[in-house]
Amino acid sequence: MYDSKVIRRRRAALAIFVVLSLGMLTVYFGESGGGALHSVQRGAQAVFAPLETGVNRALKPVRDLFGWVGDTFDAKGENEQLRDEVTDLRERLGESETARHDVRELRQLVGLHETDGFPQGTEPVGARVIVRSPTVWYSTIGIDKGSGDGIRLDQPVVAAGGLVGKVTDVTGGSAEVTLITDASSAVAAQVMPNGATGIVHPVIGNPKDLLLDYITKGRRVTEGTIVVTSGFATDEVQSIFPRGIPIGRVVRVDPDEFEQFQRVHLAPLADIRGIDYVQVLTERGVTTQAGVPAQ
């Protein structure tokens, strides 16, 4: 019984409150800006404004913290996206640079056959380098063509620039090439245009330096001249290379007053360390110099 009376009283009070509120709203919107209710509103705002300002200041670090956390997560997502984009661009750039390098090397390799004196009719077979010697001399390389492609032992191998070596091992689908920088290498060579002949040997441990020995002092060699394969057999070398393949450029001649021969240093015309494509000359070919066939 008591509970029912309490409930009725609360409902009555709520109804009175609603009626009074509606009445005050009606009076508030109906009176002018200088009315009593507007004055009360302004007074309440004046009283509570400092309290509102204080609460805003107190809560500002909290709002800033939540804002910082949100910005941090957004920035982290953007950074991850940017890293992915940078990685993608680097991969594309690497592919582009690789393709550009390959095109340049292949063009130079094709252009080698158009140089003056290069032996014609050599039937070149193009191949890609798939294995490099682990030694500091880069004495051998492996290529992806073999006996099934017409590759045979002792066939000359050229790259962009000139001679790089000869075939020394063959399987059905691959072959090994011993480079002219290998300790066992010896190439019968000729200085152009004066015609002096000698033997090209490597400087062990320095693939950028070759020696041309057995050049008599009567045939003076000068810096900048080109040395090519001679196609001649000597007491020391049984030539397997046709005449006219470029080997290197003379960079230095060592003076020696007590020796009969000059000691000539060459820089290989082919990039021995950086070759990716080669050609195997599967036919002996003939020289174009003075129309003399290779010996």
Output 126 or 236, whichever has higher pLDDT. Answer: 126
CB 282 within 8 A of CB 155: yes
Q: 3-class SS at 13?
A: helix
Distance in angstroms (rounded) separating the CA atoms of residues 265 and 248? 9
Eight-state DSSP code of residue 236:
S
Output 216 or 244, whichever has higher pLDDT. Answer: 244
Q: What is the pLDDT of residues 192-206, one digit of tens each?
A: 888 888 899 998 778
Structural domain contains residue 145: yes
* Element of type H or E holding 63: helix 36-112
* Token digits of residue 124: 């070149």
* Token digits of residue 239: 């030539």
Omega of the bond leading into 193 within 30 degrees of 0 (cis): yes
**Domain total of the chain:** 1
Structural domain contains residue 223: yes
Distance in angstroms (rounded) separating the CA atoms of residues 292 and 267? 27
Which amino acid is located at 129 in the chain? V
- How would you classify residue 244: left for phi > 0, otherwise alpha for psi between -120 and 50, otherwise beta? left
- Judged against a pLDDT cut of 50, whether residue 293 lies above it is answered with no
Structural domain contains residue 267: yes
Structural domain contains residue 38: no
State the average pLDDT for the chain: 77
- Among 151, 188, 108, CA closest to 280: 151
Q: Lowest mean pLDDT: which of 89-93, 145-149, 173-177?
A: 89-93
Q: Lowest mean pLDDT: which of 44-48, 66-70, 278-282?
A: 44-48
pLDDT of residue 259: 67
Structural domain contains residue 250: yes
292: pLDDT confidence band, cut at 50, 70 and 90? Answer: very low
Output 234 or 175, whichever has higher pLDDT. Answer: 175
Q: Lowest mean pLDDT: which of 52-66, 123-137, 255-269?
A: 52-66
Structural domain contains residue 42: no
DSSP per-residue string spanning 127-193: EEEEEE-SSTT--EEEES--GGGT--TT-EEEETTEEEEEEEEE-SS-EEEEETTSTT--EEEEEET
pTM: 0.64
146: pLDDT confidence band, cut at 50, 70 and 90? Answer: very high
Give the domain CATH number at 220.
2.40.10.340
Structural domain contains residue 196: yes
DSSP per-residue string spanning 207-222: EEEEEEEEEETTS---
- Judged against a pLDDT cut of 80, whether residue 3 lies above it is answered with no
- The CA distances from residue 249 to 84, 91, 238, 268, in Å, are 47, 37, 23, 7
Structural domain contains residue 221: yes
Q: Lowest mean pLDDT: which of 9-23, 94-108, 170-184?
A: 9-23
Give the residue numbers spanning the domain of 216. Answer: 124-281
Tell me the range of 8-12, 140-144, 202-206 where mean pLDDT is highest.
140-144
CB 271 within 8 A of CB 208: no
- How would you classify residue 266: left for phi > 0, otherwise alpha for psi between -120 and 50, otherwise beta? beta
